[in-house]
Structure formats: structure tokens, C-alpha cells
Amino acid sequence: MRNRVDVAELEAAWRWVLRLRDEQATQDDLTEWLRWYQAEERNRVAFEEMQSFWHECGKLIDDEPASVAALLAGRAIDDRRASATEKVAAPLARAGCKLVDRHCDVGMAGERSIGPGRVSPPLKFGKRRCRMAPRSIWPPGRR
């Protein structure tokens, strides 16, 4: 896939994919495409490859509709930044959760998992308020 000929074939195939997708494509278009498609095996392979690419693209909107909206608005989703943030934030958040669990009387509800792209744990506090131990007895257990 690194030479000019292949790119030329891919381009021709891609043009055909776009042309045939048009509901206004005429019988002449079809006849012309058929002639091109059946002329050479390379044409057939290129066409099927570009058509497969078309279908692969569809997965982006199925799996990541938000990223399509962001791209349309011209915003990138910066994966490197998100993953770097995640690397730092995740252990800190977990440590925070442990601390809270150990030293505070807090009613927690739900999971505290840290999924990809999240920069903080989705903590959900119950009705009871967090009661930190008084300073005089800090750290707890040394009363």
C-alpha cells in the first residue's frame, strides 16, 4: 500500500463508491462501473477495500457518537491527555477512597470504579454526612 499505483486504484474505487451511493446514479453510471469493476482483479479488490472502509466508518457513529459530534464541532478528543490524566488521577482517587473508607463515617452508594476517560471517581454519598475525626484524636486509633 505504499506505492502510487495502489493509491490511484483506491482513489478510483472510492470515487465509484461515492458515485454508486448516490440514489440518482443512472444506468449508464452502472454500466460504466461494471466495465471498470470487471476489467481487472485489482479494481475489484480496491473497490471492495474502499467499500469495506465505508462500513468501518459507520462504527465510529455507533460506538462513539460523542466523538463524531466533537469532530463536527472541530474539537479533538485528546487521548494522550486523557490517558495521562487518568494515570495520575486514578491512583490518587483510589487512595482518597481508601482514606475516606478508613477514617470517615460516610455512607457510600454505588461503584467507585474509574473507567477510561474519567478523571475522578463517581462518588455518590449517602444521606449521612461525613464526620471527620476531631483533631485531638488524629490520627484515629491513637486515642
Partner 1 sequence: MSPDYQLTSIVESATPSADDARIQTVQHLIQLHHRALHAFLMTRVRDSQEAKEVAQEAYVQLLQLDRPDAIGFLRAYLFKTAANIAINRAKQRRVRGALDRLDDPEPPVDWLSPDRHVLGRQQLWLLRRALFELPPNCRRAFILYRFKEWNQEQIASELGVNERMVRHYLVRAGLYCKLRVRGCTPAEAKAQIKEQRQ
- Which residues form the interface with partner 1 (CB under 8 A)? 1-2, 4, 7-8, 10-11, 14-15, 17-18, 20-23, 25, 27, 30-31, 33-34, 37-38, 44, 47-64, 67-68, 71-72, 74, 76-77, 79
In angstroms, the CA 74 to CA 62 distance is 19
22 versus 139: smaller Cβ distance to partner 1: 22
In the bound complex, what is the minimum distance in angstroms from residue 101's beta carbon to partner 1? Answer: 31
Question: Phi and psi for 2 in degrees, rounded to 5?
Answer: -110, 10
42 versus 128: smaller Cβ distance to partner 1: 42
15 versus 128: smaller Cβ distance to partner 1: 15
In angstroms, the CA 90 to CA 98 distance is 12
In the bound complex, what is the minimum distance in angstroms from residue 134's beta carbon to partner 1? Answer: 46
In the bound complex, what is the minimum distance in angstroms from residue 78's beta carbon to partner 1? Answer: 10
42 versus 98: smaller Cβ distance to partner 1: 42
Number of Cα atoms under 13 Å in the Cβ half of residue 17? 19
21 versus 129: smaller Cβ distance to partner 1: 21
Task: Take residue 109 and report the three cell numbers written for it.
Answer: 452508594
Q: Is 124 helix (H, G, I), strand (E, B) or coil?
A: coil
Question: Phi and psi for 108 in degrees, rounded to 5?
Answer: -105, 145
* Per-residue DSSP letter, 125: B
In the bound complex, what is the minimum distance in angstroms from residue 36's beta carbon to partner 1? Answer: 10
Question: Before 139, cis peptide (omega within 30)?
Answer: yes
